[in-house]
Structure 1
Amino acid sequence: MLRIKATLFQYLAKYGVDKSGGGDIIYQKVDGENGPIRVLRYMPSNSKQEKYPVHVHIHGGGWVIGVADMDNAWCRRTADETGSVVISIDYAKAPQHPFPAAIHDIRDVILSLSKDPTLDVSRLTIGGLSAGGNLSIAWTVYCLQNNLTLPVLLVPIYPATDLTIPYSEKMSRVPEKTRAKSISFWMADLFFKSYTTTEEENENMLASPARAPADILAKFPKTIILTAELDSLHVEADDFAKQLSENGVEVIHHLYPGAVHGYANYHYDAKADTPDARAKEESFTLMVQEIKKYACISPFQRNFLYTNDTKGGGDIINQNIDGANGPIRVLKYLPTNSKQGNYPVHVHLHGGGFVVGRADMDNAWCRRIADETGSVVLSIDYAKAPQHPFPAALHNIRDVIHSISKDADLDESRLTIGGLSAGGNLSLAWTVYCLQNNLTLPILLLPVYPPTDISLDYNEKLNAVSEEARAKSIPAWIVDLFDTSYTTNRADVLVSPGRAPDTLLSKFPKTIMLTAELDSLHIEADSMANRLSENGVEVIHHIYPGATHGYANNNAKPGTPDAIAKEETLKLVIQEIKKVNNHL
């Protein structure tokens, strides 16, 4: 009976395919362990690249029904709006090909992509709908189990994450209005029993990725989990998002109110304003935005923005602080050899153009500061634009710093603050905010290669430096993406603290301003350092010769200008924090 029902659904699922618009679609066959695998390759309409980033799309259908081209419109828009080649896989369906055949097909297709000279698999993202969302998560677990290259971004939409939970129990967890709109019992029974046949298979983390241990989950890439309120599967997916976040993974998680399972597959009138139509468009917009951030930059740029060092140091405590706009993830780095209590505090703000990056990308930096100064270091995963534009990041910093007074182990009177790039800007902006709102100032300010005046035209900044500096500076298109995402009011002194009046600058604490010669941002930061000094502020200011923007994140070869600048900067930061901590 299961075979009959499954065959019927495979036939029915071929209808309703949207074949409108977009670039070319190339139909391919990839050799797989279990025979040829049908793959659809969606080409961007308006992009001609030497090597394309790749987005792998896994369709839904309960592992039993559906075809690779059932999400044509979704895949074509993804290709056109991200510039990625989208690969939609017609993976093996149960019950003829039960678990783990679909995962093996995904493996065989993804491994084949590395042989294509037109594709850049170092910029591979993956996502899917429903069962496809489950398979995209399972593929990530498979990579970690088998030491394969991880995707740079994971986007599961309304996925099943735990097949060990009986469907009746999943239904009992949600209100009646959700049960009425969820996948029916008989259909869920068909799907789940066709895909896995034993409890042992259900417990396998490749079938139920929510059962993966913490040491696996902690290594996941940034994950976007999108769920629907009127779907009995949302509880387990929401729990999985929380699991990832608690294990230090950067997660964006949205539960769309009033939406049902399958909202991304439904066709709506362009003017439709229903919960499902809104959820579909918002999900797609968010996915495209995140793919563009993570896949459409070079591996070097991504490593600069996202690579974290987890070696050595004391304990790291992963916390969530209540903020005005929701919980704020904070990493608390404890000194290794200090048990003093009443710790001084150093607040660290990571870089990433206000748009990308995460709290743990500067692990080695934060651990050394904690160990060598005796301070507890708080690294804030502040809200990122464009979802959370100015002043959301600044308000997150405010809420975290206000929370310090509630921690008996921390001495808020010995608070220092600093950051790299956009984080340096935010540390300066926080100081201006304190002066505007009569709040306690940090006792030391340590911005490293910060943008200080975003109101200035970036092309003029590039023209003001040498040809070598222009070649090694952040590209104009990236700066435009970052700044446009962050704010529409670039002249605000909380956005461009270099524009603050002398009456505010004269009240700044001691400031350590460190910049790089081969960085188009150094002129404005140098100018702000000079203005602070002219207004009577104690300033230490260094321009590191031959160094580039991002040197503190680069793993440069010893003896190179970036490596020298990184070590000298860290030593100076540690030295100055120790001075002010011991002085009070």
Structure 2
Amino acid sequence: MPIDAKLRALLDSLPPAPPLDQVTPDQLRANVQKMAAGMKFPDLPQVRTQDVEIAGPAGAIPARVYSAGAAEPAPVIVHFHGGGWVVGSLETHDPFCRYLCGLTQAVIVSVDYRLAPEHKFPAAVEDAEAATLWVLEHAAELGGDAKRVFVSGDSAGGNLAAAVALLLSGKATLRGQLLLFPATDGAPEEYASYQSNATGYGLEAESMRWYIGQYLAGEEQRGDPRFAPVRASDLSGLPPALVMTGEYDVLRDEGIRYAERLTEAGVAVTHIHYGRMHHNFAVWPLTVAALPQSFEARREMAEWVRQTAQ
């Protein structure tokens, strides 16, 4: 199935990005922030927000809480933004979190975890775990229900959400995990999508290799389940999962493989594959409001949350 024509035109309209090895992480972050700030986001839900700080293993972790003002304790979604563990922030993913809050009527807690390369693996995972444990403890104060807490993430954030679900298995109860176009492995050579989607579809294969190199402190970490959850020896007992993948995504095959492994382990999995879309189209600022399919994908997220939260 060919890539969506509107998406293809959007990708073709973008100026060529400088090679990642020719920009600093701070320059890359500034570029992403500028791009996000210049986008228009129609029909953003009117939700309440509050910036908070969460005690983390290396200091305060900034977070933003979104609330639709539900009368009863609402489900809570702890969201970890994408950006290759190097870029992304509360601001870049603010529109997505507002859309998700409005659609689900859940409390959304967006977490500004530490970024690489200044903070190598497992810093981001440690922050993500600490933030989730804090939410489980303080859910009622946020207007949420501690028995209906989800972890969520897009791309690298999906990697963190999957890792947190693994780390908390047997220690704390999560209602579900939203894994949106997730990175689940560190072995690009094992997945055909790294070849078929290497260039021309937004996230490129060499860019992903660069992000992994920025995040990891050594090659021996590639097999660590906190980085590569697909390599965990036991996935049984994990909370229900929504896994979204896109045909024109370098991360397509590892996302599919993780959905398969979860299913094999007896986990309840809803896997939605978008045959004409690319990486993270439903979340990333450039496409979060530019494509009809983005709105539809978020409606599917919300429906899954509603059903799983019952």
For residue 290 of structure 1, what is the aligned residue in structure 2?
304
| Structure 2: distance between partners of 1:25 and 1:149 | 26
| Secondary structure in structure 2 of the residue aligned to 1:48 | coil
The 1:150–1:3 alpha-carbon spacing in structure 2 relative to 1, beyond 3 Å, is farther
Instruction: After TM superposition, list the pairs within 5 Å mapping 1:432-471 onto structure 2.
Output: none
Matched residues in 2 for 1:228 and 1:262: separation?
A: 8
The answer to whether residue 134 in structure 2 is matched with residue 134 in structure 1 is no
In structure 2, the residue matched to 1:86 is 108
Q: Which amino acid aligns with 2:131?
A: V
DSSP-derived class of the 2:140 partner: coil
Is residue 2:147 matched to residue 1:122?
yes
SS at match of 1:287: helix
In structure 2, what is the Cα distance between the partners aligned to 1:64 and 1:210?
21
- Does 1:62 find its partner at 2:80? no
The residue that corresponds to 1:233 in the other structure is: 251
Determine whether 1:8 maps to 2:27. yes
Which stretches in structure 2 are left out of the alignment for 5+ residues?
Answer: 1-19
Could you tell me the TM-score, scaled by structure 1's length?
A: 0.45
* Contact 1:2/1:95, CA 8 A, preserved across alignment: no
Q: CA deviation at 1:143?
A: 0.8
Question: In 2, Cα distance between the equivalents of 1:294 and 1:188?
Answer: 32
Flag the 1:2–1:81 CA change in 2: closer, same or farther, 3 A: same
Matches within 5 A, 1:525-564: none
CA displacement, residues 537-584 of structure 1 (integer Å, 9 cap, x when unaligned): xxxxxxxxxxxxxxxxxxxxxxxxxxxxxxxxxxxxxxxxxxxxxxxx
Alpha-carbon contact 1:63-1:131 (below 8 Å) kept: yes
The size of the alignment, in residue pairs, is 282
Q: Alpha-carbon deviations, 1:299-341, whole Å to 9, x = none?
A: xxxxxxxxxxxxxxxxxxxxxxxxxxxxxxxxxxxxxxxxxxx
Q: Aligned partner of 2:30: which letter?
A: Y
Tell me whether 279-288 or 195-204 shows the greater mean CA deviation. 279-288
Shift in Å, 1:263: 0.6
Q: Which letter does structure 2 place at the counterpart of 1:294?
A: T
Report if aligned partners of 2:95, 2:285 keep a CA contact under 8 Å in 1: no
Choose from 30, 33, 38 the match for 2:62: 38
- Matched residue type, 1:197: A
Offset, 1:88: 0.3
Match of 2:128 among 106, 111, 114: 106
Q: 1:193 aligns with which of 199, 206, 213?
A: 213
Q: How does 1:243-322 map to 2 (within 5 A)?
A: 243-264=261-282, 265-267=284-286, 277-295=291-309, 297=310
Question: Cα offset for 1:157?
Answer: 0.9
Superposition RMSD on alpha carbons, in Å?
Answer: 2.4
| Matched residue, 1:518 | none
Gaps of 5+ in 1: 298-584
Letter aligned with residue 226 of structure 2:
L
Which piece of structure 1 moves more, 71-80 or 91-100? 71-80
Residues 147-202 of structure 1 deviation map (CA, whole Å, 9 limit, x = unaligned): 32132111111111111x1x355466643x66432523442232101111222211
Q: CA deviation at 1:28?
A: 1.1
Q: CA deviation at 1:9?
A: 1.6
Q: Which amino acid aligns with 1:66?
A: G
* Partner of residue 12, structure 2: none
Matched, 1:224 2:242: yes
3-state SS in 2 of match to 1:69: coil
Code of the aligned partner of 2:261? Q
Distance 2:147 2:106 in 1: 12
Between the aligned residues of both structures, percent identity stands at 27
8 Å contact kept, 2:238–2:267: yes
Q: What is the alpha-carbon distance in structure 1 between the residues aligned to residue 175 and residue 49 of structure 2? A: 24
Give, in whole Å, the separation in 1 of the partners of 2:120 and 2:22.
12
> 1:196/1:83 Cα in 2 relative to 1: closer, same or farther (>3 Å)?
same
Instruction: Choose between structure 1 and 2 for higher RCO, CA contacts under 8 A separated by at least 6 residues.
Output: 2
Quick check: 1:263–1:280 contact (8 Å CA) kept in 2?
A: yes
CA distance, structure 2, for counterparts of residue 280 and residue 269 of structure 1: 6
Distance 1:76 1:182 in 2: 24
CA 1:172 to 1:230, structure 2 compared with 1: closer, same or farther past 3 Å? closer
Paired with 1:10 and 1:173, the residues of 2 have a C-alpha distance of: 24
Q: Please report the TM-score for the alignment, with normalisation by the length of structure 2.
A: 0.83
Runs of 4 or more consecutive aligned structure 1 residues displaced over 6 Å after TM superposition: none
Greater displacement, 185-194 / 222-231: 185-194
